[in-house]
Structure 1
């Protein structure tokens, strides 16, 4: 292919490294750490879900507190449905967070924004859960919460908030600004011939 047919890289983008795509600069350390924190948080959350769902007697006991009139067969069916739904949700959330974290590390700003929204929502839900635990609401419904589960929730919340903050430190902000593609100006309107 001749040099005339080669695409000209944008001045803000590095030169082509083969394959026709410009090389993506490596993310700064805060962005790389945030990526791994998001993936670790997603894996941790999925693992916790699997462990909680594996405790079938606790699930049935919790369901018995919520639905006291249910028969044992109904409780078994509800527990099975809860396990199936929980596993599907855990896998979907792990895939979503991993995909978003990888895109964020490549400098895709909408992925950073979406992770921030998800982390903010998670922080609000987590704080609401801690307030509910402190006020005794779960016990009023017959739900059992272990101190270990509460501590793990706090750790997960701290990891998410840390990852969110790392995405906005000055080095990360500069990286995302540099990765933005400038918008091309719209073409001028076609010229119409002037008729006398």
Structure 2
């Protein structure tokens, strides 16, 4: 059995835990859900970096909100916004990894958090696709910038939703439920 970075366990075969014992190891569905969850975080991080790299669009958006700002104020606001956004996206990605690792260790609370977040993101993406496809304009609040939903952002959103849907299904599989029930029955390690 090889539970390294490049390959997973065979179907139904548990992944060795850090202790090397079989009963504490998650089944393949939980192992795969963890890595797909982390992959969704990486894709989301990439989407955010690409969106923030379009400085011209950020400047135009800020100019439309506050046309009276001087250029140095616009530059400072855009730079600060990019830095804050990068830090926030890194923190969210780290949180995804933390929750994914806790889930893979059998923590049911982490599984529930992942199921809720994944479910909400899939529903949100489906709603976005429906409203975008029907030509329904999105509501905007005055004074709040609205990120344009370009084709690249939409593609990233679809990829993330597909990953989240797969995670959702994997965590509801019978072997996954048995794993979490067994860890709960034995108590925390």
When normalised by structure 1's length, the TM-score is: 0.71
Q: Which residue of 2 aligns with 1:190?
A: none
Q: Kindly state the Cα deviation for residue 74 of structure 1 after the two structures are TM-superposed.
A: 2.7
Q: Is the 8 A contact 2:43 2:156 kept in 1?
A: no
Q: Which residue of 2 aligns with 1:105?
A: 104
Distance change >3 Å, CA 150–CA 113, structure 1 → 2: same
Q: Kindly state the Cα deviation for residue 116 of structure 1 after the two structures are TM-superposed.
A: 1.5
Distance change >3 Å, CA 170–CA 56, structure 1 → 2: same
- More displaced 10-residue stretch of structure 1: 104-113 or 77-86: 77-86
Q: Is the 8 A contact 2:44 2:156 kept in 1?
A: no
Q: Distance in 2 between matches of 1:131 and 1:66?
A: 28
Larger Rg: 1
Q: State the Cα RMSD in Å.
A: 2.8
Q: Distance in 2 between matches of 1:80 and 1:92?
A: 18
Per-residue deviation, residues 98-135 of structure 1 (Å, max 9, x unmatched): 01111111111011011112223323443444455442
- More displaced 10-residue stretch of structure 1: 119-128 or 83-92: 119-128
In structure 1, list runs of 5 or more residues that go unmatched: 1-18, 184-196
Distance change >3 Å, CA 49–CA 69, structure 1 → 2: same
Query: 5 Å matches for 1:1-196?
Result: 24-130=23-129, 133=132, 134-137=135-138, 143-181=147-185
In structure 2, list runs of 5 or more residues that go unmatched: 1-18
